[in-house]
Amino acid sequence: MDNKEKETIKQAILSKIRDLEEKVESLTELSKPVTPDNAIGRLTRMEAINSRSINEASLSASRQTLNNLKKALGLIDDPDFGYCLHCEEPIPYKRLMIMPETSLCVACAEKINSSLT
């Protein structure tokens, strides 16, 4: 991978980090507990609790992705960045543009995911 491609990936990571930080902030607000003293009906309250659960799951996933992106940003200048941890082959540039936090090529990721199911 040349320096221009690494710089493009770095900018993509920074952009994704900014977007996720905004999303985490928004989801944190939406995940606040539903207070029982709100004057809402039982079904509406149940819907609010359900929405909160969905928002909490999304918040958790967003935080994990954010941490992974920050880790990738710190490793981008490492000579091993962009190589699969499993097979040690280069991860395609397009995959890194879509998922810069990935540490596996598509083939190895599929093998690992299929062995988990």
Q: How far apart are the first and last CA of the chain?
A: 33
CATH of the domain at 94: 1.20.120.910
Chain segment 88-97, per-residue pLDDT in tens: 999 999 999 9
Q: Are 101 and 69 in contact, with CB atoms under 8 Å apart?
A: yes
- pLDDT number for residue 1: 83
Please give the residue that has the higher pLDDT: either 111 or 115: 111
Q: What are the b/e assignments for 7-29, b being 16+ CB within 10 Å?
A: ebbeebbeebbeebeebbeebee
Q: How many domains is the chain partitioned into structurally?
A: 1
Please report the sign of the dihedral spanned by the C-alpha atoms of residue 76, residue 60, residue 30, residue 37: negative
Torsions phi, psi of 90, nearest 5? -65, 140
Supply the range of the domain harboring residue 21: 3-116
pLDDT one-digit tens code per residue, 27-77: 998 888 766 665 566 657 778 788 888 999 999 999 999 999 999 999 999
Q: Say what the pLDDT of residue 37 is.
A: 60
Does the pLDDT at position 18 exceed 60? yes
